[in-house]
Amino acid sequence: MVRRIVIIGANASGIEAASAVRKRDRTAEITLITKEKTAGYSRCGLPFVISGTIPLFKDLIVYPPAYFQMLKLNLRTQTIASIINTKEKTVTIQTPEGAEEIISYDSLVIATGAEPVVPPIKGVEKQGILSLRSIEDGEKIEANIKAGAKSAIIMGAGLIGLEVGVALIERGLQVTVVEMQPQILPQMLDNDMAEHVKSHLEQHGMKILLNRMVEEILGGDKASAVRAGGEILTADIVINAFGVRANTKLALDSGIPLGETQAIKTNAYMETDFEEVYAVGDCAETAHAISCRPICPKLGTVAVRQGKVAGANVGGDNVRFLGALVSTITRLFDVEVGATGISETEAKKNGNEIVVGVVNSKSKADYYPSAKPIRVKLIVEKKTDRLIGAQIVGGEEVTQRINALSFAIQKKMTIRELAKADTAYAPQMCEIWDPMVLAAERVLMKLR
Amino acid sequence: MVRRIVIIGANASGIEAASAVRKRDRTAEITLITKEKTAGYSRCGLPFVISGTIPLFKDLIVYPPAYFQMLKLNLRTQTIASIINTKEKTVTIQTPEGAEEIISYDSLVIATGAEPVVPPIKGVEKQGILSLRSIEDGEKIEANIKAGAKSAIIMGAGLIGLEVGVALIERGLQVTVVEMQPQILPQMLDNDMAEHVKSHLEQHGMKILLNRMVEEILGGDKASAVRAGGEILTADIVINAFGVRANTKLALDSGIPLGETQAIKTNAYMETDFEEVYAVGDCAETAHAISCRPICPKLGTVAVRQGKVAGANVGGDNVRFLGALVSTITRLFDVEVGATGISETEAKKNGNEIVVGVVNSKSKADYYPSAKPIRVKLIVEKKTDRLIGAQIVGGEEVTQRINALSFAIQKKMTIRELAKADTAYAPQMCEIWDPMVLAAERVLMKLR
């Protein structure tokens, strides 16, 4: 009997799930449904089209139509899934022509992603408040720049806000970022580390206003200013980068329970509370690999890993997703920034007793030209001596240092082990005592 | 009572040992003895002075005289230690003026390093066979280039041979490398990985002759050609890069036993067979962290770690060196190369049953400009599913990928865990499935 698999969402996690099913089931009828015009593109690449580094939005398409054909995946774009009937095992969809259709499934994967948060600010209904989640969003920003926009206000100093801010400065715009919190990147970094990133951004001309709530969006029909902390700031573009939230309307309407993060509740197999209904990616709640608390990290790496797990299970395997460490990296102008595991702020909030070590070092031997300053912070659980988090600002090879520390966390490395760890050395590439190891020494000095 | 510590050798491991003693003992009389004119410089940096990247040899001095003063270390340069009397606890030294002096020690650290191997080839006694181990060696090569040398023959395609070869090509010389083995970097890489490095070097103009034994060094008083595999190759400079061997004459003359690698035998505390006599760095035998076999890896990172352990123990601690993974990295022109743990060749020689996975991927998202090809090879022990070795050629951030995999090996990560591991992602910095994780998948496919 041919199994019918329906996947709602056709980006990172949805396609990963479809591919994992196909690997295990050559005959299954696999249907992917997306409301978007374009499927299989990289959202994380959008800022680099805005900046001009990547020529065209369509360059971001990682899975072209040929991929769907090759894997015999039935892709239905511009199609809306309006209701799931978990009893009858059907999904009601609206076709691009507006017709309603009911399709049956044996297994269903919900990969509806996330969407920009729109807080209830006065004036939020105005035209022209832009965001950067989809290719359409990107095209709107691009159109504004082409139409001569010279300045932008970005509401929110999270990862997306700052990446868009950098892109717009690279396109010659004046950029002001307004953030409610007392620091930039509040989800990713502790304040001490964020301060270094902030100075770097300011040196490149980004204006950053912290502790400023956006009270009102001003302008005629089209947003052209915001009032924040009592001050009126005007700009040609106003960008909403308050954050994204799990897209759960379909689940809610269909009686599929959410968890405490307001994302779809799942277990380690990526199953929802309903049999043969899975949820993956930005719309799904998952467990933090260290704290075990429910989180919804909304990261590409997590999305593909969850998609792969759900797809394997749909295909007959019995695989678990082991939780997320929320490893996050970016490069802003020429400063690399990375974090993994638990931050100092988070640990304190959770009541963990921790010891922290920070070191300033160099990315190469001190005498080697172009060695860059690098700052590494480690967070260690006092009770167990185990590394539970790390943050890095500056230097080079930050991504793979974050991966190294993330492997250490995943394998429960103690700070004593890290201080003794074997690392590689060549003067043109790193220091003989890697900053990670030096930072571990700093922690040990406090533990002695 | 003031303790007297004598350290023979004043580079990486010797100075690290001295610093570790001083940290624990403020009054000890610490004497460092070196036959060299300059102490505390980075040998690994020598090729980059030859290439012109670093302006002067003295820029390589990491520990200037002020460091020795600050730590109250008694540094005696151009001084030769000729005999150790382990019964009387004395060292006989020859001062720069040629006088003999006997100094007493409570603890002794031997850090005599290594020296270039000179095999018994016909003509090896000729003048002008250069090597690159010390600043003096570097100055001789530099003098030859300044005097108009246009071509060089390098005997040996190990790390130093190739790094010098690259430096000389960058200075405009024609370079031919002659290697006895059927591959370059035989100590570091398996042949399949070495082949990729070789093509890269050849593309940059390096002539590489494999399977060629150097049979004779030719020329008048001064070496000006070699006969290798029957062919006569002429050049303005002939460089000996056959390798280095532990400098053990002093130990041998003093009755301090060597191990099976012909380096000074030590235990995990870096002690030799004699009480209060330690050996560290390139002259010391140590254990491989995976195979537990005796090795003498001759790496800077190992040297400083061993020096720190010996110094801590001399200072009253009780610390162990946990063995070396022999993590090795370099960049040759613009290709990064790294290895850690056990190679496929080595594992097979040791009779380990292994499974190997190789993947070709990209250093960044495929659509991101300047993404570079990267090749990752993993070696997994079949019995335990554990990662025991890794090699990487190409791409970016190879050093920290090697560190990540080295942490994984040190913490006994299985290949299943690596295939599921949480890694960080941003399109401008890496792929969503890191090549390390993809390579783990390749191994798993073979294990299933």
Question: How far is residue A172's CA from residue A168's CA, in Å, rounded to a whole number?
Answer: 6
B12: chain A residues, CB-CB within 8 Å: 432
pLDDT band at B358 (very low <50, low <70, confident <90, very high): very high
Give contacts of B 38-67 with A, CB under 8 A.
42, 44-45, 48, 53-54, 59-60, 62
A329/B404 touch (CB, cutoff 8 Å), yes or no:
no
Collect all residues with Cβ–Cβ distance below 8 Å to A125 and sequence separation of at least 6.
none
**Nearest residue of chain A to residue B322 (CA atoms):** A420
Identify whether A44 is a catalytic site residue: yes
Q: Does B106 have pLDDT greater than 90?
A: yes
Instruction: Let me know how long chain A is.
Output: 448
B335-341 and B387-394 as β-strands: parallel, antiparallel, unpaired?
Answer: antiparallel
Can you give the C-alpha Rg of chain A in angstroms? 23
Give contacts of A 302-341 with B, CB under 8 A.
302, 304-305, 322, 324-325, 327-331, 336, 338, 340
Rounded to the nearest angstrom, the minimum Cα separation between A41 and chain B is 10
Question: How far is residue B21's CA from residue B280's CA, in Å, rounded to a whole number?
Answer: 14
Contact criterion met (CB below 8 Å) for B226 and B153? yes
Q: What is the share, in percent, of chain A residues with pLDDT greater than 70?
A: 100
Rounded to the nearest angstrom, the minimum Cα separation between A325 and chain B is 7
| pLDDT tens digits for range A303-333 | 999 999 999 999 999 999 999 999 999 999 9
Rounded to the nearest angstrom, the minimum Cα separation between A407 and chain B is 6
Q: In the numeric block, which tokens belong to residue B124?
A: 């090896």
What angle in degrees, to the nearest 10, is found between the helix axes of B191-203 and B159-170?
A: 10
Nearest residue, CB atoms, B424 vs list A12, A338, A368:
A338
In a mutational test of the B interface, the residue from A403, A413, A430 whose CB has the highest number of chain B CBs within 10 Å is: A403
B420: chain A residues, CB-CB within 8 Å: 305, 322
Question: How far is residue A392's CA from residue A375's CA, in Å, rounded to a whole number?
Answer: 6
Collect all residues with Cβ–Cβ distance below 8 Å to B346 and sequence separation of at least 6.
B291, B389
**Nearest residue of chain B to residue A396 (CA atoms):** B397
Residue A21 CA: distances (Å) to CA of A32, A40, B295: 12, 17, 47
**DSSP symbols for B90-134:** EEEEE-TTS-EEEEE-SEEEE---EEE-----BTTT-BTEE--SS
B351-376 average pLDDT score:
96
Exposed e or buried b per residue across A36-64, where buried means at least 16 C-beta atoms within 10 angstroms of its C-beta: bebbbbbbbbbbbbbbebbeebebbbbbe
A73-96 average pLDDT score:
98
Q: What is the share, in percent, of chain B residues with pLDDT greater than 90?
A: 97
Beta bridge partners of A122: A216
A428/B331 touch (CB, cutoff 8 Å), yes or no:
yes
Rounded to the nearest angstrom, the minimum Cα separation between B162 and chain A is 14
* 3 state DSSP class of A364: coil
B424/A397 touch (CB, cutoff 8 Å), yes or no:
no
pLDDT computed for residue A118 by the predictor: 85
In a mutational test of the A interface, the residue from B423, B433, B434, B436 whose CB has the highest number of chain A CBs within 10 Å is: B423
Strand ranges for B95-252 from DSSP E: 100-104, 107-110, 114-116, 129-130, 151-155, 174-178, 207-209, 214-219, 223-228, 231-234, 237-240, 244-246
Question: How far is residue A255's CA from residue B57's CA, in Å, rounded to a whole number?
Answer: 73
DSSP B256: P
Positions of B marked catalytic: 44
pLDDT computed for residue B1 by the predictor: 84
**Closest among A81, A127, A124 to A215, alpha carbons compared:** A124
Can you tell me the ipTM of this complex?
0.96
Question: How far is residue A162's CA from residue A158's CA, in Å, rounded to a whole number?
Answer: 6
B350-364 average pLDDT score:
96
| pLDDT tens digits for range B111-151 | 999 999 988 999 988 888 999 999 999 999 999 999 999 99
| pLDDT tens digits for range A177-212 | 999 999 999 999 999 999 999 999 999 999 999 999
Q: In the numeric block, which tokens belong to residue B42?
A: 């980075």
In a mutational test of the A interface, the residue from B399, B402, B429 whose CB has the highest number of chain A CBs within 10 Å is: B399
Question: How far is residue A141's CA from residue A237's CA, in Å, rounded to a whole number?
Answer: 8
Beta bridge partners of B127: B222
Question: Nearest 10 degrees: CA dihedral of B412, B382, B326, A441?
Answer: 0
A401: chain B residues, CB-CB within 8 Å: 400, 403
pLDDT computed for residue A352 by the predictor: 92
User: Whose structure tokens read 């060696």?
Assistant: B137
B302-326 average pLDDT score:
97
pLDDT band at A220 (very low <50, low <70, confident <90, very high): confident
**Containing H/E element for A283?**
none
pLDDT computed for residue B221 by the predictor: 85
Angle at A342 between CA A337 and CA A348, to 5 degrees: 120
**Closest among B285, B287, B277, B282 to B255, alpha carbons compared:** B277
Contact criterion met (CB below 8 Å) for B168 and B152? yes
pLDDT computed for residue B125 by the predictor: 87
Q: In the numeric block, which tokens belong to residue B249?
A: 């004459």
Collect all residues with Cβ–Cβ distance below 8 Å to A262 and sequence separation of at least 6.
A245, A246, A248, A296
A300 near B CB under 8 A? yes
Rounded to the nearest angstrom, the minimum Cα separation between B441 and chain A is 12
| pLDDT tens digits for range B4-48 | 999 999 999 999 999 999 999 999 999 999 999 999 999 999 999
Rounded to the nearest angstrom, the minimum Cα separation between B378 and chain A is 16
Q: At A165, give phi and psi (nearest 5°).
A: -55, -45
Cα A178–chain centre separation: 20
A436 near B CB under 8 A? yes
In a mutational test of the A interface, the residue from B49, B368, B407 whose CB has the highest number of chain A CBs within 10 Å is: B407
Cα B249–chain centre separation: 20
Q: Give the mean pLDDT of chain A.
A: 97
A410: chain B residues, CB-CB within 8 Å: 413, 417, 421-422
**Nearest residue of chain B to residue A322 (CA atoms):** B420
pLDDT computed for residue B404 by the predictor: 98
Beta bridge partners of A355: A380
**Containing H/E element for A336?**
strand A335-341
Type of residue numbered A229: G
A424/B60 touch (CB, cutoff 8 Å), yes or no:
no
Instruction: Let me know how long chain B is.
Output: 448
Q: Does B448 have pLDDT greater than 80?
A: no
Question: How far is residue A383's CA from residue A137's CA, in Å, rounded to a whole number?
Answer: 47
Collect all residues with Cβ–Cβ distance below 8 Å to B274 and sequence separation of at least 6.
B86, B256
Rounded to the nearest angstrom, the minimum Cα separation between B133 and chain A is 15
Beta bridge partners of A129: A238
B327: chain A residues, CB-CB within 8 Å: 422-425
**Nearest residue of chain B to residue A368 (CA atoms):** B54
**Closest among B205, B208, B207, B217 to B186, alpha carbons compared:** B208
Contacts A–B by Cβ distance under 8 A? 207
Q: In the numeric block, which tokens belong to residue A433?
A: 């005592």
Q: Does A448 have pLDDT greater than 80?
A: no
Q: Does A221 have pLDDT greater than 90?
A: no
B423: chain A residues, CB-CB within 8 Å: 301, 327, 403, 406
